[in-house]
Chain A
Amino acid sequence: MYRSPSALSRRRFLLGTGALAAGAAFPRALFAHSGGAARLVVVILRGALDGLAAVPPYADPDYAALHRELAIGAPGSADGALSLDSIFGLHPSFSFLHDRYLAKELVVFQAVASPYRDRSHFDGQNVLENGLTKPIGTADGWLNRALAALPRGSGRPGERAVAISQNVPLILRGDTPVISKSPQATPDVDEDLLARLADLYSKDEWFSARLSEGVQTERLADEGNSGDAPAMMTQATAPQAGKPAAGDRVSGVARMAATLMRSEGGPEIAVIEASGWDTHANQGGAKGTLAQRLAGLDQAIRTLADGLGPLWPQTAVLVVTEFGRTAAMNGTRGTDHGTGGCAFLVGGSVRGGRVITDWPGLARTALLDNRDLRPTLDLRSVFKAVLDEHMHVDAKTLAARIFPDSSGARPLQGLMRA
């Protein structure tokens, strides 16, 4: 386990130089309590997850014929789905998520989509993250705009949200300061060098803000780690010339998120990203490429829940992707870019054990453009509900600032436990 003995002294030094952001110098006692406030983790699956594999509609009469060898069989059949209800199941890789479903901590959404209706990953991700109806038009993300409207919580100002990566993804970019921290440790940076750099940056606001933020965040990770959190970063820091197993990487990221959120005054919101969902060829069914990715995701959410420990009852984890994939298998045993897909909301504060969908079916006439699952629920209805019921952002700000042009996407009701 990595633990820098000098992180605190480093922080003191920077305090002395005045290089710290004003918020970070707040008296710590004000934020001493860590309980009470809601926690939110957003997991972005980049590359477009096949919702018809993750949440198989096994009882739909057209499913098996369209999805062919990629289809997941009914619960009880060989390699069949984990049962949710009389129509839907979960992919057999999702054992932890299924346990959460049985514990009434998981809501599964099916046939959902953002307002985006074309099939570019990159525009699709922009819409998912910017909260608008089109890919361009704002440089900030909806979660950053939501941060500005959050009631006071346990996190330090300027550190209430963290991106678990070296850089901040669009969903968290914006005027409200956030922090970033990758699971890759930065040990052994010479204290004196940092002090001199702080001095060298003193006339450059852009660099000095980032340096003090970076030093602060490292301290948070250190503090979170000094408790009972499990040993971390072994996987992520091992130099890998080849391909690290995707699941291990996502779990390392999840562990870092939990560690930071557990630290005193640590962030209440975290964003995690996972890629590798663009399964155009040899997607596999109950076993194979996608199945391994899903198992990695399932493991990451288990890691997150374990790591958050006592915070889990006040946590909601939102798992989303930019769009779904074609209803029919393509010519290379994969699926191409589609529209409607699935999403998950899991956590101790979620009123779960439900599949929420207005299922349009997979009949040829029901498909969008003759090829995609037709979306019947706007993802913004889910986002708004989470921000409203879980994070207590007021409805007016939600409608006006965070999701402009979303009057058609009314927030769902009753997603969270009272």
Chain B
Amino acid sequence: MIQTEIAVLRFGLGARPGDLAAAAGDPRTWLTAQLKGPVQLAVNTALAPSDRIFVELLAAREERQEMKREAATSADPQAFNPVRDAYLPHYRAQVLARAQSAAVTPRPFAERLVHFWTNHFAVSADKGAVFGVAGTLENEAIRPHVNGRFVDLLTAVEQHPAMIGFLDNQYSVGKDSELARLAARRAARPRPDAADKPRREFGINENLAREILELHTLGVNGGYSQKDVTSFAQIITGWSIGGGKGRLAGGIPGRFYFRENLHEPGAKSFLGKTYYEDGQRQGEAVLSDLCRNPATASFIATKLVRHFIADDPPPAAVARVAHAFLKSGGDLPHVYAALIDAPEAWDPNVRKFKTPEDFVFSTLRALNASPTQPEEVIRSFELLGQRQYTPGSPAGWPDTAKSWDGSDALMHRVLWASRVAGRYERGLDPTDVAESSLGAYARPDTLTALRRATSSKQALALLLMSPEFQRR
């Protein structure tokens, strides 16, 4: 029955041996059973929490400052880079744990939803300041809330230090904040010793506010103006990261911290509504209202339907999912259930071209494999053009075939398929793998090609590169 294949291959991450059989009885129940509770990593790896990584980073930065002070000449920054050295082991560990979890999880639909939200709330590790904590957002803010309410997910994400750091909100300062007023008073005093020193100017940074509206909630056509962006940026001044020195001391180092003295005081107007001064809760009230906005429901529904059904989201499915979002108050299992109920999702003729991530994870599952070395994972994604946690922009990776279907990209897939087949071929019968990983999707042509292949390595590579395996 093709519904089983659709549940496991399209909604899940691809089939490990036995997955299709397990879902065959009742594919929909197989899916909905995964929508309860947090979705932790499926492997028992002790990853360092974000606050500890940030603290290590701060220590590394101080070390570098110290080095700079000591070195009379400016040393080559590439030769010894304490920031990179502090971050790299964490990035490697996060990437490996993620791939292992995707390869072995018994809840692959829930795991795909985790990946979906990580991409929706993208933090890109190519920004040096968050390189080592990029993966912590997924594990600390998304996994606990993926089966909860959208407002809790959203709040956890926007208050996660990786997001605050990625979109530069930690030192966004209100012009009338305590800190800015103090600085102004000081500047008014005569200071002959520092007369030629430029005074530090305080102000907002609108990056996080804009991307919350454009990319996380309302969507770019969600009905907000530049004024709303500026106002929202003022509302979330003070949303910062603990630690620091002098006037910026406070909070637990490396954790979210509301810095009252950076916050722009007073009532503010946003999308036609007045939000009274309430410190950190002023911003939380805005987030909560954003979750009730129909534009948010429609934007999230469109992205979910694009991810799970088709590059051009069928409007009826979008409407169904958006309705569930509004009606349930953003209760995510209800939203996912509406997706499963959409008849369009079960059309066997509509298939998504796999992203490199889809391709790698479904390959590991098909081959009953799990990577053991971070380099294996890192090099795979480097080769295939989707470095983990590195979409390059806050918009995340594109989710349509035309962004991944270049001829050069296909050549890289052939190369990778050939290598991975060589690595994992031992003990595998390619025809069995075709059966357990594709079920009814395996075409007779492909099975014939597998039988005629000169080696099991070649047969596996052909299977992985077959049109039916390249789609989900």
Contacts and interface: CB of A to CB of B under 8 A. Distances in A.
Interface of A: 46-47, 68-69, 118-123, 135, 139, 163, 165-168, 173, 179-182, 184, 186-190, 192-194, 196-197, 199-201, 203-204, 206-207, 209-211, 213-215, 217-218, 239-243, 245, 275-276, 278, 280-281, 329-332, 334, 336-337, 369
Contacts, number: 181
Contact of B385 (A47, A135, A166, A189): A166
A207 B411 CA distance: 11
Interface in B403-439: 403-412, 414-415, 418
B414 A167 contact: no
Given A68-B201, A210-B407, A211-B407, A193 B461 contact: yes
A122 B379 contact: no
A177 to B, nearest CB: 10
B314 interface: no
Contacts of B220: 118, 120, 122-123, 135
B116 interface: no
Contacts of B418: 188-190, 193
Contacts of A206: 405, 467
Interface stretch (B23-31, B155-163, B167-175, B302-310): B167-175
Contacts of B382: 184, 239-240
B139 to A, nearest CB: 19
Nearest to B229: A119
17 contacts: A47-B393, A121-B395, A166-B412, A167-B402, A167-B409, A180-B408, A182-B408, A189-B415, A207-B410, A239-B378, A242-B87, A243-B84, A243-B128, A278-B393, A280-B207, A331-B203, A334-B168
Q: Which of B204, B393, B462 has the most CB of A within 10 A?
A: B393
Contacts of B207: 280-281, 336
B168 A189 contact: no
Given A179-B407, A196-B453, A241-B378, A334 B467 contact: no
Contacts of A118: 220
B458 A167 contact: no
A197 B415 contact: no
A404 to B, nearest CB: 21
A218 B408 CA distance: 8
B215 to A, nearest CB: 8
Q: Which of B168, B210, B409 has the most CB of A within 10 A?
A: B168
Contact of A330 (B84, B203, B385): B203
Interface string B327-363: 0000000000000000000000000000000000000
Contacts of B204: 330-331
Contacts of B202: 331
Interface string B195-217: 00010011111110010001000
Contacts of B409: 166-167, 180
Given A192-B454, A332-B172, A197 B462 contact: yes
Nearest to A202: B445
A96 B203 CA distance: 36
A410 to B, nearest CB: 29
Contacts of B171: 281, 331-332
B415 A207 contact: no
Contacts of B385: 165-167, 182
